[in-house]
């Protein structure tokens, strides 16, 4: 007999519920997959590495199971304090979950960072699954070889072959993971897709636009915080966000000539925030120079990250 056996969903069937952590090297496609699994954008995506900085939860239902997917920052050899906090957060997400899903970019294959993750995963007690992502970019033979060589290092219960971007194999993967969840009550209402407050998603959306439009090291020197969200009598929202940069020169680049760059970032972000919030949005962006934000514990708290001592 199972203690949860009397849990029923709205149709009277027994329910299942659990956490699946999506981990992998930066740029493997974890956030793209999370959004595809949930069917809405809850985590930001970019072509650049190290886009995600904290755990982001997305909730999906498949059959009788509710799965809370946890998107995590990419795992790599951290150098800066922020990198250490991000990698720490990713492993924390993995070891808190019921099932771990390691994403590997199938075209890139088994690189040094992925090998290092596999070595550590061997010693992790959670159930483990593997997802070879971006199968739209490589040959089938390569997928089979990669499956064999990865499983030889660390055995996985399941191997999924997917394209998070095109949606190939994603539904099947969700069903299989759903069946792996333990019997138990659903933790969230049926229509909830994320547990992140809208103000956090709003700041992340602006950070995504900064990632898209700024180059080299600059996106990594920036953080965005939502300072104010005021719902106005006409149903719209007045939102104020601060973009923190580390140098005056960076502030100038973010503003752009005649304010052109910040204007285009603001307009793209406003549209997307309005969509997510389902209301009209007035977005005000302020750019502030704060040389040491990367060593300021308050900034980490805002991101929901632990502050590494050094
Ligand atoms: N061709 C192809 N591209 C993909 C696929 N999945 C993701 N991408 C692309 O890969 C890039 C990185 O995607 P993200 O979802 O941001 O990757 P991530 O693993 O979350 O990256 P970090 O947050 O930096 O760790 C983006 O340009 C995506 O469009 C896929 O299945 N096929
Ligand atoms: Mg990501």
Q: What is the pLDDT of residues 135-144, one digit of tens each?
A: 999 999 999 9
Question: How is domain 16-183 classified at the CATH fold level?
Answer: Rossmann fold (3.40.50)
Q: Which position has the higher pLDDT, 9 or 143? A: 143
Specify the residue with its C-alpha closest to ligand 1, atom 14.
29
- Identify the CA nearest to 36 among candidates 25, 26, 45: 45
**Is 112 a residue whose pLDDT tops 60?**
yes
Please give the CATH number for the structural domain made up of 198-303.
Answer: 3.30.300.20
**Does any ligand 1 atom lie closer than 6 A to the CB of residue 55?**
no
Gap between the terminal Cα atoms of the chain: 49
Q: Are 265 and 285 in contact (CB under 8 A)?
A: yes
Structure confidence by residue, pLDDT tens digits, 263-300: 999 999 999 999 999 999 999 999 999 999 999 999 99
Average pLDDT estimate for 117-146: 96
**Is 3 a residue whose pLDDT tops 70?**
no
Specify the residue with its C-alpha closest to ligand 1, atom 13.
29
**Does any ligand 1 atom lie closer than 6 A to the CB of residue 54?**
no
Distance 124 CA to ligand 2 centre (A): 22
Provide the pLDDT confidence category of residue 14 given band limits of 50, 70 and 90: confident
**Is 2 a residue whose pLDDT tops 70?**
no
Specify the residue with its C-alpha closest to ligand 1, atom 11.
47
**Does any ligand 1 atom lie closer than 6 A to the CB of residue 32?**
yes
The domain segmentation of the chain, as residue ranges, is 16-183, 198-303
Neighbour count for residue 235 (Cβ, 10 Å): 9
Q: Are 68 and 20 in contact (CB under 8 A)?
A: yes
Q: Which ligand is nearest to the CA of 131?
A: 1
**In whole angstroms, what is the distance from residue 300 CA to residue 240 CA?**
19
pLDDT of residue 9: 58
Structure confidence by residue, pLDDT tens digits, 159-189: 999 999 999 999 999 999 999 999 999 999 9
- Identify the CA nearest to 175 among candidates 70, 59, 37, 43: 37
pLDDT of residue 224: 97
Q: Mean pLDDT for the chain?
A: 95
**Does any ligand 1 atom lie closer than 6 A to the CB of residue 93?**
no
Q: Which ligand is nearest to the CA of 90?
A: 1
**Does any ligand 1 atom lie closer than 6 A to the CB of residue 50?**
yes
Atom of ligand 1 at shortest range from CA of 46: 16
């Amino acid at each position: 007999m199972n203690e949860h056996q009397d849990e029923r969903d709205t149709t009277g069937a027994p329910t299942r519920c659990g956490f699946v952590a999506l981990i992998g090297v930066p740029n493997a496609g974890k956030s793209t997959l999370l959004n595809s699994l949930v069917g809405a954008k809850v985590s930001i995506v970019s072509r650049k590495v190290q886009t995600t900085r904290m755990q982001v939860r997305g909730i999906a239902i498949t059959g009788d199971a509710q799965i809370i997917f946890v998107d995590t920052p990419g795992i790599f050899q951290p150098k800066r304090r922020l990198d250490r906090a991000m990698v720490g957060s990713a492993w924390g997400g993995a070891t808190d979950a019921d099932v771990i899903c390691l994403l590997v970019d199938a075209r890139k294959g088994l690189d040094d960072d992925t090998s290092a993750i596999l070595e550590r995963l061997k010693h992790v007690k959670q159930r483990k699954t593997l997802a070879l992502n971006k199968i739209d970019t490589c040959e089938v033979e390569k997928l089979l070889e990669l499956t064999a060589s990865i499983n030889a290092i660390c055995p996985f219960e399941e191997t999924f072959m997917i394209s998070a971007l095109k949606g190939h194999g994603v539904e099947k993967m969700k069903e299989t993971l759903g069946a792996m969840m333990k019997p138990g009550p659903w933790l969230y209402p049926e229509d909830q897709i994320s547990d992140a407050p809208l103000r956090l998603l709003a700041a992340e959306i602006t950070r995504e636009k900064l990632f898209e439009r700024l180059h080299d090291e600059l996106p990594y020197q920036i953080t965005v915080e939502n300072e104010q969200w005021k719902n106005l009598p006409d149903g719209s929202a007045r939102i104020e966000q601060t973009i923190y940069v580390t140098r005056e020169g960076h502030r100038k680049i973010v503003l752009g000539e005649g304010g052109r760059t910040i204007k285009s970032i603001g307009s793209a972000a406003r549209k997307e925030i309005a969509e997510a919030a389902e209301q009209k949005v007035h977005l005000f962006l302020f750019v502030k120079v704060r040389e040491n934000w990367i060593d300021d514990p308050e900034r980490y708290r805002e991101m929901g990250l632990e502050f590494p001592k050094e």
